[in-house]
Amino acid sequence: MDTITQPRNLPLLATPETCAGRTYIVTGANTGLGLEAARHLATLGAAKVILGVRNLASGEAAKRDIDNSTGTGAAVVEVWPLDLCSYDNVRAFVRRAADELDRIDAVIENAAVALSERELAEGHVKPVTVNVLSTFLMAALLLPVMREKAGKVARGEGDLVVVPRIVVVGSRVAFDESTGARVDWEGIKEDPIKGLDDEGMVPFKTYALTKLMEAFAIRHLARELVPVEKTGVIVNLICPGVCVTSLMRNSPPELKGVVTHLYATVARTAEDGSRTLLHGAVAGPESHGKLLHSCQDGEPDVPDWVKDDTKMQARTWEVIANELELVEPGCVAKMLECA
């Protein structure tokens, strides 16, 4: 792999002033980056932190861990079932959020999978379903809800501006030439979902390629959701960097030595890496549609072949949006209706 360097001991840009009294949703929050981000939010005075988790027992253990370590009241952290392998489960989660939450200040879409064997969910390989389709389905369904609730909160607080965020956790591994993602993308770019679903696709390659799909799609979607003052929600993409988490537990044998070396030399702790997620949740309108990493503007590290190819950005979003419309007809139009 290319030589990797990254700063550690990142700044905590989320503060009590930016987080106190607010409500957050964190997916994949039972372990790793999601758990540590949720812990920080509770410590910073959030009124409510929803842990979206596939395994409820693990989620309840995470809640107890946060409650014990922060001393916050038991009512602050809640565990809700969320399995991104199931579109029905995503729909149910969003309905519950719409019904039970008075406000949603940020959704941190952290859940993702990296697999070394081919597995299917909802008719697609799991990394496509989890990392891309369910992630964007959740964003599409939640964005109108967040917009409406922000308006009610603002009116209740004397017309203060309330701008919620949707934070998608991506990865610069998608841009790393050594992963071969750029070369592989050339073979699937006209229909990346079909290409990733192909039985000839090497399973572990799908992780970087789904992260590339996110990068292309977010850039186009953000252009559709402007100006932020009108559409009401900031959408950004963050890269937490190389962190010691369980994400790479399914890496194939030939990569395990590389991963172990990175963990021992340059990797951030999960707590350190979680600060990048929090940055996305409090970053201003200037972050809309942009990559953030290391708690700063990451745009200089987005290669031109991603940044400048608006045609590919539009095509990638079109492929995703077509799938979303099959899953939930009308959801894309409703998300964009204020744009």
For 17-37, letters b (16+ CB in 10 Å) and e give ebbeebbbbbbbbbbbbbbbb
Omega prior to 303 cis, within 30 of 0? no
In a domain? residue 312: yes
DSSP assignment, residue 111? -
Determine, yes or no, domain membership for 249: no
The pLDDT of residue 88: 98
Q: Is pLDDT above 90 for 155?
A: no
Range of the domain at 83: 16-242+270-336
In a domain, 263, yes or no: no
| Residue 192 counted as domain residue | yes
Question: Does residue 264 lie in a domain region?
Answer: no
Indicate the DSSP class of residue 269.
P
User: For 216-268, what is each residue's pLDDT tens digit?
Assistant: 999 999 999 999 988 999 999 999 999 998 766 666 666 666 777 777 788 99
Q: Number of folded domains in the chain?
A: 1
**R_g over Cα of the chain:** 19
Question: What pLDDT, on a 0 to 100 scale, did the predictor assign at position 4?
Answer: 65
CA distances for 163 relative to 46, 97, 172, 231, 302, angstroms: 16, 17, 27, 9, 26
Mean pLDDT (whole number) for 131-154:
95
The predicted pLDDT at position 251 comes to: 64
Helices and strands, number each (H, E), in the chain: 15, 10
Identify which of 50, 39, 52, 41 has the alpha carbon closest to the alpha carbon of residue 13.
41
Rounded percentage of the chain residues whose pLDDT exceeds 70: 93
The tokens for 195 are 């290409």
Closest CA to 275 of 7, 64, 10: 10
Confirm whether 187 is domain-assigned.
Answer: yes
CATH of the domain at 305: 3.40.50.720
What does the mean pLDDT of the chain come to? 93
Closest CA to 258 of 322, 204, 338: 204
Position 2 scores a pLDDT of 42
pTM (predicted TM-score) = 0.95
CB atoms within 10 A of CB 2: 7
Give a yes or no: residue 258 inside a domain: no
Distance, in Å, from the CA atom of 265 to the CA atom of 261, rounded to the nearest integer, reads 6
147 domain residue, yes or no: yes
Q: What is the pLDDT of residues 39-89, one digit of tens each?
A: 999 999 999 999 999 999 999 999 999 999 998 878 999 999 999 999 999
Here the tokens at position 274 are: 């979680």
